[in-house]
Amino acid sequence: MSTDPSQALLLECRRSAQTVTLLPYNAAVVTTLIRQIHTIHAHLVQSLRSAAIPGDEVGPTPTPPPAVMFTSTHHHLQIRRLKRVLLVYHSHRLNMLRGMLHRAHLSVTHLLPSIRPLLSPSELTFIRSYAQISMSYRAEFIDVLDIAASVDEPPKGMWVNVRVVKEVGEVITEGGVVDFRKGGRYLVRRGDVEMLLVQGYLEVVD
């Protein structure tokens, strides 16, 4: 078990990527790392200042003594690594969120209730604005084509066998009214039930 807190964030990224689940936002570790960066940065500034020759800022900077060079390089690399870890962690989460929103057909209202407790406030803002810009991009095509629909698998046929998981009731489709009763199985046009599939009312049986 590593005592390095940045390792914990990387591990979380890895786990979340492998299991395709969003883990809760780890505010505690993020704050710790930011504090660490501040501390190391203060040390770095301190050691550089102590090495500088006072009153000689205009002339060419002489190479500081090896001890100072060593510590400052060390500090610098540490800071760079921590910053990178933080950015990796956050952008991984944002990408993850994007993917989830696309799988939910860009419907924030449908996605949010299940994941809200896992997000940081700025991630919440992000996903809302992302949904907005995706919606306006989608509006370019919406008259003819809904680009929010899933592209995971090419359509194999027009009809799809579905099972009703949650009671839906009567739905008007192109072919007429279908009464989706819980537990029932129906053969319907995929386009008609796409939204119900995403929302989890129906599931495909093959």
Partner 1 sequence: MSDWPTLPGGSWSNGHSHLPSPSPEPAAADADADADADELALDAERADAVTLLVRAWTGERCAPDVRAFEGELVGRIMGYLDAQAKLIGVLKVDGASEEDHEKIGLVQMEMDRVGWLLRSYIATRQEKLIRYAPYINATPAMQTRLSVAEQTLVESYQQIFEESLIRDVVGNLPEELQALDEVLPDGRSMVSQPDLDKAVFIRAKQDCGPVLMPDGSSLEIKKRGIHLISYRVVEQLVLRGEVELT
Shortest distance (Å) from residue 182 CB to partner 1: 28
Q: Which of 75, 98, 90, 116 is nearest to 27 (CA)?
A: 90
Options 114, 145, 166, 185; binder of partner 1; rule CB under 8 A: 145
Q: Is 110 in the site for partner 1 (CB under 8 A)?
A: no
Cβ nearer to partner 1, comparing 160 with 168? 160
Going by C-alpha positions, the residue among 121, 105, 134, 90 that lies closest to residue 199 is 105
Q: Are 61 and 117 in contact (CB under 8 A)?
A: no
**Does position 87 bind partner 1 by CB under 8 A?**
yes
58: contact with partner 1 by CB under 8 A: no
Asked if 115 contacts 144 with a C-beta cutoff of 8 angstroms, the reply is no
Closer Cβ to partner 1, 51 or 86, answer by number: 86
Residue linked to tokens 């020759």? 53
- SS3 of residue 169 by DSSP: strand
Whole-number minimum distance, CB 55 to partner 1, in Å? 23
The tokens 């395709």 sit on which residue? 20
Q: How far apart are CA 9 and CA 7, in angstroms?
A: 5
The yes or no reply on residue 5 touching partner 1 (CB under 8 A) is no
Residues in 14-33 at the binding interface with partner 1, rule: CB under 8 A:
30
165 binds partner 1 (CB under 8 A): no
Amino acid at 110: H
Cα–Cα distance for residue pair 99/154, rounded to 1 Å: 19
Shortest Cβ distance from residue 65 to partner 1 (Å)? Answer: 22
If one asks whether residue 94 binds partner 1 (CB under 8 A), the answer comes out as yes
| 68/135 with CB nearer partner 1 | 135
Q: Which is nearer to partner 1, 184 or 192 (CB)?
A: 192
Bridge partners (DSSP) of residue 160 are 188
Which amino acid does the sequence have at 18?
A: Q
Q: How far is the CB of 121 from partner 1 (least distance, A)?
A: 8
Cα 99 from Cα 93, distance rounded (Å): 10
Q: Rule CB under 8 A: is residue 144 a binding residue for partner 1?
A: yes
- The token duo for 79 is 């800071």
- With vertex at residue 44, the alpha carbon angle to CA 68 and CA 46, rounded to the nearest 5 degrees, is 85
By CB under 8 A, name the binding residues for partner 1: 30, 34, 37-38, 41, 79-80, 83, 86-87, 90-91, 94, 98, 120-123, 125-126, 129-130, 133-134, 136-137, 140-141, 143-147, 149, 151, 154-155, 157-158, 190-191
